Structure 1
């Protein structure tokens, strides 16, 4: 958790309703370091009147992926029940209602809340089906001023979209206060929507899924073909169409359909998608509700020998059969939508059957569900994880071509789409991204106040330095950003070379450097594919050169005459972790998954990670004094290839120091990292090199005994023992005695020696090859 309230005005939150959504909202508030009161009804039986809310917290502590960023965050959740503890809601600055979607029950709750809440405290509903005006019927003017809708997406920790709806009487300052808290404390990208059924994301997303499922059945497209055609080429996550339905729950689709059908105006195109679905009804009745049930459109069959076979549902017969992955799409069709929709046969027909209606429907929603196309695009990218929003897809397809084909087929063309003609919905002018408005003019895309994104900077600037794997950018205020651009942002010689080139440039002309990028992952570590290639041609000198070069580059950053701040987000593994450890400070996104994972592929960390972790552990306030406690902590973390599952966990595991920062909103990471770097500039001096008093041979014996015990219990393999012994040699100083002082350079030399020894071992090579080909560890 952040450990302090990063937003103004909201010091405590109450969430009423501890179902999956309500409990998840409460957890995310706690993740921000803010106290939260979680209330639910009194159970019909049992002695504990708070059992339902307590049970929700207990369940979240066992859930994977975890709603809590740290188990410590759960301590900020106070549980209770509505009958006994509703008065405690009066202590809260924001009350979130997340109870059953029934108007009468919600209104009854609001009547009780009105008697206990303090004036000016926000009350919001998580509904996406009931109009705001209906919710506040019969309430006082004060209550109406304090009321809004805050529609979170599940799971609230991981889904960044929050749709906010304000009523005609809602206080604008109150909305701004809630928005600021949701943005900065909860990490949400807030989108203001109109009070229309389903708002933006669920209205368009539900329509999209209904269209895609119907079209697959009508055109004889298999679930595998549908997920291929309607997946990656359209920027849909790898689940595709049917895989996504399995993920969210097959049984959720009829519920969403009914809620929209009950509230949408007559004549809405959504009604054209509604038809009897006996196959889906049977799936739900038989418990095939997706991943949470026995299976869905896909399922896994387990053989008697422990093998697993992925099965897919035949849409025509309703029977399962082994998955049949379709062949590759014709060249270019996976990237060119215009080509995809014109392919002969059912491939092109299915692509058009999705894109034609869905993109047309999106154009209808401008002015109705949202003010502009940016809100609609962002809602779908954040709420459904689309890579491209619908208007970005229209630009890829061609606005004029879309209108022409709709017209040729006798289908209506929305006025906004027709007015656009051949104009793109987005363009870049003078380095600024602009969007087309309803009046035909272009306006700059506006970011929230304080947000700085590298993608915006890059539109109007040239890099200071650049090669095939990295670039250096001026991000303003005397700060430059080092960006990785290789596949998975993996380290190679080009990145190491650019680091060495960047240091004198920054020293001469700038104040500080931030290591940052906007990829899905900060860095997956060293490029193991290149390393394995070098092994196969016995180019040992090249491997040694890569290790020595990485060490030199990272230490050059560490001892540079200016502050260096690492700003990781997503995976920061192996070398990606080590470059962070060598920085003066870390400003991590809350969803940073960081760790030294080299032992998992038979290696030892080779770019200074061992020494940096030992130094952190020795300085940690929580660590008992003496050489063994820090050593044992680092050995356990590194030998087991532990990866922190959040920045909060990373702090507990010592990858982050107490002084390092955590940013909840991904959009604010660069600005926060810049601010941290600039705060270090005045009076900056590079750190003094550490000296280590390590445990020597006797300490190594203790570590190895622990590993042998794990092996006896079947918790570690034979080769795990070998790898752990190599790690123990590094962490205990090799041949050093317990009274000897080991320098940083000596430790780095030992790292290089044992990394190379590991790389020459055929068992390590097998682990690396398995990881590269399957993405899974080999337990040899």
Structure 2
């Protein structure tokens, strides 16, 4: 992967020792950044291949879903070996990451061996989550202690953004800063500095929360579904809640973490009060019910009964069909109302979250120097929407403190310090946080980080309606933000985009299209389209298609540079707006595709022509009208979506010159910089003219589709959709020697789109997708 310019680092080669799931995942993420990796493990117990363990780890990672590699090509950057034959190669590495079994004696033995072969100043770190740094470096040479640190990745390393870094009194802080910079810029991690305490930050609080959640559910007689419904979305926590998350990480991991905590935590720590023998859990592990990686866990899929989802009874220990649990609407939307409710759900919510938030407050500054680090660790390590102190501000710190006191429970000093105030506040557009000394300090962003949420705190939008907004993000650049549900394109977005183009012409140098939301855009608003079809408002639908085409072309031919900055999903219309931009600065985790065929439609806002133009201009593409068209048909007809920004380049959604940002927090800053780099001497592109393959090309594409149909891969309606797509890509009725203009391509898209929208099979697909979130194969 080619990273953005300026992301160079002093770390040019990395060694990972330990090729288990975590070690292989870390090696894969380093390779995703385009950095060569040496992956070493022990010798196998049998066989002639002494590198078999590391080789098998890479092969396994290439088959794993979700994929550790952003592209298969990244795997080629990993060199495999073993610690008996190849440890001397560490001398060529700038950072060595130890990811072996959690045994202090084995780790220290390895460190002594590494010290004999490494270059002085080579960073050595452990991925441990249970052994304190002071123990890891005990008895090691001073020169090694100076270059040693803990870098705790979260699993899976590609997708989890948190990296906890722990340094010791002897650590060379300049070296630690270089490693942190590499993790930030090249690996895309948010580096949170943790103190050298058991479990560091996220696991210390998160495991306490999980343990408390299990205990309280059993004590209060809640089912696993009820507990997860309470502990999930009402608090901005993933719907896995407590039991679903334990299934995900593995039930067998919990006893190991608990044993480590018991051995290392000081007497009187509240965590110790949660530790108890749970016979049900022990029996599940013994029987192989270790979670998703095993036969199942608290939830399982009973395939013998026809793939029925089941859950275990916490009292009976027997599996029964899982029952969906929905909280009353008022409670599901408000954590404050939920936690103060007197029903069983409210009692469970308070017993778990009240204790967890109090525990978190009691740990600062022990586990981290400030509350900002704790909140970041829980957001990024456990995917909480808000960290503990942000949640306390929602609930009211004084309210929580008074309730703890009324129940005779300890009130943490930090809760007494905040008193009737809040842990965060905004003054003059700047977010401040409460320090342990009772003084407020600004939340500092690292250089190169620009968040739209910060812009919003200190300014008003230039333009706004119910689906989008335009912001001034500084240096003469405006930012167009999508704000509709799933950022789906609708008439309101098109209207504001038209207005934004005119405003940027008059007052700004460039435009960036970006959102802080998890997903860039899920495409067009299918719900509105289905409603319009049901009332036969065909004219209104065609007007929306035409206006979308007109707006996207106005964007393309605007007299200023346009840079789109996607992250997450960029589908359908969300992909088409990228295709009409001068440049794309994509987050590495961008999932881009023209998916219209999956719902029985074709791209309608210029996507077909733009994709043909991209493939035609691709270096090495064979000459003639058919090769580029075949590439587009191959991708669009099956609604292929890239699994990363790197793969989006392979599929043609990103061009070779488009850039990739690894750290999501840096995306807007780098998109703005990219836009500014295009300003001087900018001229809008000229409209393309297409030479398309005509009737023969259409026949060839249909032949390919029919082949898939005979194999049972394509359905009857897939053939209808594919033929409409082939009609557009072949130029309609154009002859092979005819020039097809961009305007004619748009007309072909419009006609095919409206024709398909009038078919019952397409309407069935749209309705099914809206109801289930899954495609209908009809």
Matched, 1:314 2:284: no
Whole-angstrom distance in 1 between the partners of 2:332 and 2:390 = 16
Structure 2 match to 1:181 = 182
Q: Taking structure 1 as reference, are residues 719 and 287 closer, same or farther at Cα in structure 2, changes over 3 Å only?
A: same
Structure 2 match to 1:324 = 323
Which of 593, 597, 601 aligns to 2:591? It is: 593
More deviation, 241-250/5-14: 5-14
Please tell me whether the aligned partners of residues 477 and 511 of structure 2 are also in contact (alpha carbons under 8 angstroms): yes
1:40-55 equivalent positions in 2, closer than 5 A = 40-55=41-56
DSSP-derived class of the 2:85 partner = helix
Whole-angstrom distance in 1 between the partners of 2:541 and 2:3 = 42
Matched, 1:469 2:470: no
Structure 2 match to 1:273 = 274
Whole-angstrom distance in 1 between the partners of 2:704 and 2:424 = 60
Which of 601, 611, 614 aligns to 1:613? It is: 611
Which of 746, 750, 756 aligns to 1:758? It is: 756
- Alignment: residue pair count: 777
Deviations 1:196-216 (A, max 9, x none): 000000000000000010000
Structure 2 match to 1:492 = 490
Q: Taking structure 1 as reference, are residues 317 and 174 closer, same or farther at Cα in structure 2, changes over 3 Å only?
A: same
Please tell me whether the aligned partners of residues 217 and 315 of structure 1 are also in contact (alpha carbons under 8 angstroms): yes
Matched, 1:623 2:624: no
Q: After TM superposition, give the deviation of residue 328 of structure 1 in Å.
A: 2.9
Matched, 1:230 2:228: no
Q: After TM superposition, give the deviation of residue 446 of structure 1 in Å.
A: 0.9
Whole-angstrom distance in 1 between the partners of 2:2 and 2:420 = 48
Structure 2 match to 1:7 = 8
Whole-angstrom distance in 1 between the partners of 2:324 and 2:289 = 22
Matched, 1:20 2:21: yes
Structure 2 match to 1:678 = 676
Whole-angstrom distance in 2 between the partners of 1:336 and 1:602 = 39
1:79-98 equivalent positions in 2, closer than 5 A = 79-98=80-99
1:74-153 equivalent positions in 2, closer than 5 A = 74-153=75-154
1:376-455 equivalent positions in 2, closer than 5 A = 376-455=374-453
Please tell me whether the aligned partners of residues 769 and 775 of structure 2 are also in contact (alpha carbons under 8 angstroms): yes
Structure 2 match to 1:243 = 244
Structure 2 match to 1:531 = 529
Structure 1 match to 2:192 = 191
Please tell me whether the aligned partners of residues 425 and 433 of structure 2 are also in contact (alpha carbons under 8 angstroms): yes
Whole-angstrom distance in 1 between the partners of 2:188 and 2:682 = 31
Structure 1 match to 2:208 = 207
Please tell me whether the aligned partners of residues 186 and 662 of structure 2 are also in contact (alpha carbons under 8 angstroms): yes
Whole-angstrom distance in 2 between the partners of 1:504 and 1:537 = 34
Structure 1 match to 2:169 = 168
Q: After TM superposition, give the deviation of residue 173 of structure 1 in Å.
A: 0.7
Q: After TM superposition, give the deviation of residue 332 of structure 1 in Å.
A: 2.4
Q: Taking structure 1 as reference, are residues 344 and 434 closer, same or farther at Cα in structure 2, changes over 3 Å only?
A: same
DSSP-derived class of the 2:384 partner = coil
Whole-angstrom distance in 2 between the partners of 1:132 and 1:774 = 48
Whole-angstrom distance in 2 between the partners of 1:97 and 1:618 = 46
DSSP-derived class of the 1:468 partner = coil
Please tell me whether the aligned partners of residues 4 and 34 of structure 1 are also in contact (alpha carbons under 8 angstroms): no
Q: Taking structure 1 as reference, are residues 165 and 261 closer, same or farther at Cα in structure 2, changes over 3 Å only?
A: same
Please tell me whether the aligned partners of residues 594 and 644 of structure 1 are also in contact (alpha carbons under 8 angstroms): yes
Q: After TM superposition, give the deviation of residue 235 of structure 1 in Å.
A: 1.3
Whole-angstrom distance in 2 between the partners of 1:4 and 1:774 = 38
Whole-angstrom distance in 2 between the partners of 1:730 and 1:527 = 23
Q: After TM superposition, give the deviation of residue 3 of structure 1 in Å.
A: 5.4
More deviation, 130-139/380-389: 130-139
Please tell me whether the aligned partners of residues 4 and 32 of structure 1 are also in contact (alpha carbons under 8 angstroms): no
Please tell me whether the aligned partners of residues 193 and 369 of structure 1 are also in contact (alpha carbons under 8 angstroms): yes
Q: After TM superposition, give the deviation of residue 135 of structure 1 in Å.
A: 1.1
DSSP-derived class of the 1:291 partner = coil
Please tell me whether the aligned partners of residues 4 and 33 of structure 1 are also in contact (alpha carbons under 8 angstroms): no
Deviations 1:391-438 (A, max 9, x none): 111111111111111111111111111121111011111111111111
Whole-angstrom distance in 1 between the partners of 2:772 and 2:331 = 27
DSSP-derived class of the 1:321 partner = strand
Whole-angstrom distance in 1 between the partners of 2:139 and 2:251 = 37
Please tell me whether the aligned partners of residues 3 and 661 of structure 2 are also in contact (alpha carbons under 8 angstroms): no
Whole-angstrom distance in 2 between the partners of 1:408 and 1:342 = 14
Whole-angstrom distance in 2 between the partners of 1:461 and 1:108 = 56
Matched, 1:707 2:705: yes
Please tell me whether the aligned partners of residues 3 and 659 of structure 2 are also in contact (alpha carbons under 8 angstroms): no
DSSP-derived class of the 1:334 partner = helix
User: What TM-score, normalized to structure 2?
Assistant: 0.99
DSSP-derived class of the 1:240 partner = coil
DSSP-derived class of the 2:86 partner = helix
DSSP-derived class of the 1:482 partner = strand
More deviation, 214-223/347-356: 347-356
DSSP-derived class of the 2:333 partner = coil
Which of 657, 663, 666 aligns to 2:664? It is: 666
Matched, 1:253 2:277: no
Deviations 1:68-117 (A, max 9, x none): 00000000000000000000011000000000000000000000000111
Q: After TM superposition, give the deviation of residue 303 of structure 1 in Å.
A: 4.7
DSSP-derived class of the 1:667 partner = helix
Q: After TM superposition, give the deviation of residue 327 of structure 1 in Å.
A: 3.8
DSSP-derived class of the 2:332 partner = coil
1:646-665 equivalent positions in 2, closer than 5 A = 646-665=644-663
Whole-angstrom distance in 2 between the partners of 1:666 and 1:685 = 30
Whole-angstrom distance in 2 between the partners of 1:170 and 1:569 = 36
Structure 1 match to 2:156 = 155
Which of 549, 557, 560 aligns to 2:558? It is: 560
Structure 2 match to 1:357 = 355
Unaligned runs of 5+ in 2: none
DSSP-derived class of the 2:288 partner = coil
Unaligned runs of 5+ in 1: none
Q: After TM superposition, give the deviation of residue 716 of structure 1 in Å.
A: 0.5
Whole-angstrom distance in 2 between the partners of 1:622 and 1:671 = 33
Whole-angstrom distance in 2 between the partners of 1:52 and 1:576 = 42
Whole-angstrom distance in 2 between the partners of 1:289 and 1:31 = 30
Q: After TM superposition, give the deviation of residue 283 of structure 1 in Å.
A: 0.4
Whole-angstrom distance in 2 between the partners of 1:192 and 1:489 = 34
Whole-angstrom distance in 2 between the partners of 1:231 and 1:20 = 27
1:514-525 equivalent positions in 2, closer than 5 A = 514-525=512-523
Whole-angstrom distance in 2 between the partners of 1:381 and 1:550 = 37
Cα RMSD, aligned residues only: 0.9
1:292-307 equivalent positions in 2, closer than 5 A = 292-303=293-304, 307=306
